[in-house]
Amino acid sequence: MELTTGVHDVAPPKRGYFKAGYSKAVIVDGGDGLIVIDTLYDADAGDILDELKRMGKGPADIKHIVLTHAHRGHLGGLASLKRLSGAPVYAHPWEADIISGERSRQEPNIFVTTPIQSYPIIFFGRLTAAINKHEPLAVDHLIEEGDKIGPLQTVHTPGHTPGHLAFYWPERRVFITGDAFVTWPVHCPGWPNAMLNHEQSWASLRKMAEFDAEVIAPGHGDAITNNGAAALRALAARG
């Protein structure tokens, strides 16, 4: 679904509840090839390929594959998209060795139950973690705060994970927040039961609230297409 000119939100079908809780991907068309941000849960990247078809595009149009963080629900289709497109993969240095399979991801506290709707996802994710892994893949480019990929500005937003990244498109006033801000099942700076550092998560939310965003594309839940900055600021005021 096109959120605004050049920004397409990719959402899994309802079966996505137990596939990372309706995790989202975003396709950005900045006029010089496509940027795919996150690759959803399924290893075949089928939902992203279907959205490309609806856009009249194909895997060869992908010029960059960017990851907000190294959780299965956001990088499951990475290897397939890499094989099909040949596009370079970008991630923060802290996440890169998890993506390449050299280090296991750090798990959040399973005893934190809020929000309750997401707890089964966390619980079953932990239960099946040993057999439910993504296909490892080397990261081609390490990116950090201030780096640019096409029209996107990289924003380091730690808390959910130490190397979590968000991306801002100033000309379109679009913020792609990954799990630094989600709208499902509630508006929050990442699910409390999936944060590795709560203090950092709230600091990252306050940082994002300083941007003049109109559109917010979160890592889970519906996008905000009108006055997104107000939603970020209202939530940040509670932290």
Direct distance between the N- and C-terminal alpha carbons of the chain, in angstroms, rounded to an integer: 31
Range of the domain at 95: 2-236
What DSSP string describes 114-145?
-SGGGHHHHHHHHHTTTT-PPPP---SEE--T
Question: What pLDDT, on a 0 to 100 scale, did the predictor assign at position 95?
Answer: 98
CATH number for the domain harbouring residue 114: 3.60.15.10
pLDDT tens per residue, range 121-134: 888 777 777 777 89
On whether the pTM is more than 0.85, the answer is yes
Nearest residue to 165 via CA among 173, 150, 153, 182 = 153
Cα 14–197–169 angle (5° rounding)?
A: 60
Residue whose structure tokens are 């991801």: 105
Number of domains the chain contains: 1
pLDDT tens per residue, range 47-100: 999 999 999 999 999 999 999 999 999 999 999 999 999 999 999 999 999 999
The stretch 28-56 carries a mean pLDDT of 96
